A and B are shown apart, each in its own frame.
Chain A
Amino acid sequence: MLGKIGVVTSWTIIRLPPADFGYQAPYPVVIVSLDNGESMVAQMVDYDEKNLHIGQRVVTVVRRTVQVKTDDVVPYGIKVKPI
């Protein structure tokens, strides 16, 4: 799933987050149509406002998904960043 390129087909900015994501808000969540034909939903990171549009090209990256307690396993997941 890493290093896959795709294009944003729609997007939003989450301003009222679920409990675990509180500290990250506001953040964009986008639908990406990957060049390999698959589609996925992901948070967009390392972005400027100008990257938030349908048609923006992105690449998949690994990021921590949520903050956890000191003795928990750190959860990582796939997010996307503009290219």
Chain B
Amino acid sequence: MNIYIIGAATTKFGELWGVSPRTLATTAVSNALKDAEITTKEIEALFVGNMLSGMLGGQEHLGAFFAEELGISVPAFKIEGACASGGLALHNAVNSVLSGQYKTVVVLGVEKMTDHKPEDVATALMGAGSEGERLSGATFPGLYAIIARAHMEKYKTTERDLASVAVKNHYHASLNPNAQFHSPITIEQVLKSSCVADPLKLLDCSPISDGAAAVIITSNPSTVNKKHVEIIASVAATDTLGLAQRASLTELHATKDAGVRAFKKAGMKPSDVDIAEVHDCFTIAEILAMEDLGFYKKGEAATAIARGETMLGTSKHFVVNPSGGLKGCGHPVGATGVKQVVELFDQLLGRAQKRQVSHATIGLAHNVGGSGATATVHILKNI
């Protein structure tokens, strides 16, 4: 059975104080349905990826909530895996179609988090970590700063190397009309920005954002129109919840595991990939992703990124985070995993406009939950 994406859309990502989660969802889903050239009548199930609706909004039960809002009385599920909620929602949607239970389903990733004080959002996000981490007063920038420090000690990665990830992704974001940030930045601006958790500075960290993204998935050949891309691998993996319990502080085994299994399922290797949307919640996270997914050897990704090897315009072939990634496009937690796939869909269909990667045939999306407790990898192929 082949699984296709036949329509996809995102909202703008940013501080959308005047836009409710209902409007975010309706905008993303209705645009995805229009893109797929189908109506809600064809939708048999709804998968919602979201993390903070309960803690920040007092609303759980999002399957029922959004099914009602979208006017579709179908089986509906909220799937949560911290920042990997979107990727997990997609994975579950793919499995539901592979099972034969449903033929055409919609996946919605949505998050509303900018209406709160930063210290309250920081507390809520620590729900993605372990109790020990919460009791120690850690924050997510803190946990990734700990990873960065270990990586810098072991591989001589520098703060300038970290900064080059942010510079690349802000440049890509400046070409993306839906991105939260619109202007390119410089290495010096990153290095001068205030320290959030040593050694990570403000511009090493992805922002707090609102936004939604939706994709329509089908196995039904007669629902498939001219515009379609095949999902050739959808894989999820798990590691320990807390950072202290990991086998290593400088690699994410969940990413490695998901990557290996995804490439095996797709019958591909890292060098076959033309574009990748990876989980750069912090600059160090993109460096880890490049190594853990097998694009670069351990300790070699940072200098490659700093040399521009994965940037639009300077890359010889392989572009990473053309959407601007989490850093430049924004990171509405539950929406990110779905947005990554929307970007790949647009790129593979040749409609990414100013940020179009030429001859893109194979795309990979990598979504991580917490400090690496959950990882999903999706591989898409242009037919």
Contact = CB atoms under 8 A, between A and B. Distances in A.
Interface string B349-368: 00000000000000000000
A41 B149 contact: no
Interface string B124-146: 00100010111111110110011
Interface in A14-53: 14-22, 24, 27, 29-32, 39-43
Given A13-B197, A16-B118, A19-B122, A41 B139 contact: no
A2 to B, nearest CB: 15
A20 B139 CA distance: 12
Interface majority SS (helix, strand, loop, mixed), chain B: helix
B122 A18 contact: yes
A64 to B, nearest CB: 11
A18 B244 contact: no
A11 B139 contact: no
Given A12-B142, A18-B122, A41-B243, 13 more contacts: A10-B153, A12-B199, A12-B200, A15-B194, A15-B195, A15-B196, A18-B126, A19-B123, A39-B245, A41-B133, A41-B138, A41-B244, A54-B149
29 contacts: A10-B149, A12-B142, A12-B146, A12-B149, A12-B197, A12-B198, A12-B199, A14-B137, A14-B139, A15-B194, A15-B198, A16-B118, A16-B141, A16-B197, A18-B119, A18-B126, A18-B137, A19-B123, A21-B137, A31-B146, A31-B244, A31-B249, A39-B244, A40-B132, A41-B136, A43-B136, A54-B150, A54-B153, A77-B135
